[in-house]
Amino acid sequence: MKFFSAALAVLAAGSAVAAPVDSRSEPCPCEGSGSPSVPPVSLPTVSVPSASIPPISLPTPCTTLSSPSGQVTGAPGGGDSVSVVVGALVEVVVDVEAKVKAELGLIADIIAKADIDVDALVKVLVDLEADLKVLVDAEAKLKGLAIDAAVLVAADLEVVLKLVAEIQALLAEVEVCLKGLVAIKADILVVIGVHLHACLDVINAIASVVVKFALAVVAAVTANVDLHDIVVKISASVDVINTTCGSIAGLLAPVLKLVH
C-alpha cells in the first residue's frame, strides 16, 4: 500500500518541469504496487460474536504519480478559470473539514471511555466516509480544467496553494485521530476494520487528485521566475501531503491485515 510521494519543483535556471514525486518516504497506497511494508504486529486472537466480516483486500495501489507536462485537457466549452474552479473547491474543503473535525472529536471521545460503544464508533466512521466522499465528487472538475501557462497568474497559484494547504491540514487531523484509534482493543479493530478500509480508499482518492493537479500547475509555471515563491510553497505542501498519506497507510496496515 503505497502513496504517491511529492515532487518538489526544480526551480534552477533553465528548469522547465517539476520534479517527480519523491518515492523515498514511507510507501503510500497511491504509488507502486502491493500493500505497505510495515513491521508485523502481535495482537491477541479474539472471538467476535457479531461478526460475519466480509473478506476485504488491501487498497488497490494507484499508478505512481509523475510530473505532468503542464497541459491538462480543457473542460468542455472552454471551462472556468483556475481561480474560479479551485476557489469553489476550497470552499467545499473548508465546509467538509468542519464536519470531519466534529466526527474526529466524537471518535476521540468514544475511544477515551473504558467501555467503548462499538456501534457508535461504527456510525461515526460511516459518517466520516460519507463526508470525505463529498470532496471526491467536488474534485471531479479539476480533472477537466485547462492549465495554460500563458494565462496563469500569481492569483491563480495563490488559490491552488490554499487548496493544497487545506487538504494538508485535513489529512493531518485524520492522522492524529488514527494514532489513538488503532491503539484500541484488537477485537474492536476487527469489527471496524472494514470501515477504516473504506475511509482509507476515500483519502487516497482525495489526495491523488489534488496532488496530480498541483503538480500540473507547478510544471506549467516552473519557468516563470516571478511565480517562484508560490511554486515552492505549493511543492512543499504537496510533499507534506505525501508524507502524511504514507503515515496513515502505515497506521492502518496492521488493522487491515486483521480483517484480510
pLDDT digits 0-9 by tens, 79-97: 478 999 999 999 999 999 9
**Residue 80, pLDDT score:** 74
For the chain, the domain total comes to: 1
Residue pair 174/203 in contact by the 8 Å Cβ criterion? yes
pLDDT over 60 at 62, yes or no: no
**Residue 105, pLDDT score:** 97
Structural domain contains residue 253: yes
**Residue 23, pLDDT score:** 40
Structural domain contains residue 2: no
Structural domain contains residue 30: no
Cα distances from 138 to residues 38, 172, 199, 210, 212, in angstroms, run 33, 20, 17, 11, 15
Over residues 226-236, mean pLDDT: 96
Give the percent of the chain with pLDDT over 70.
69
Determine the structural domain holding residue 95 and report its residue range.
Answer: 76-258
pLDDT over 50 at 6, yes or no: no
Which secondary-structure segment (H or E) carries 13? none
Structural domain contains residue 126: yes
CA dist 246 and 28 (Å) reads 4
Structural domain contains residue 197: yes
- What is the gyration radius of the CA atoms in the chain, in angstroms? 19
pLDDT over 50 at 61, yes or no: no
Structural domain contains residue 67: no
Q: What residues contact 244, with CB distance under 8 A and at least 6 apart? A: 168, 171, 172, 175
CA dist 198 and 169 (Å) reads 20
**Residue 130, pLDDT score:** 98
Structural domain contains residue 100: yes
Residue pair 210/86 in contact by the 8 Å Cβ criterion? no
Q: Any idea what the CATH number is for the domain that residue 84 is in?
A: 1.20.120
Structural domain contains residue 6: no
Q: Which of 183, 195, 41 is CA-nearest to residue 116?
A: 183
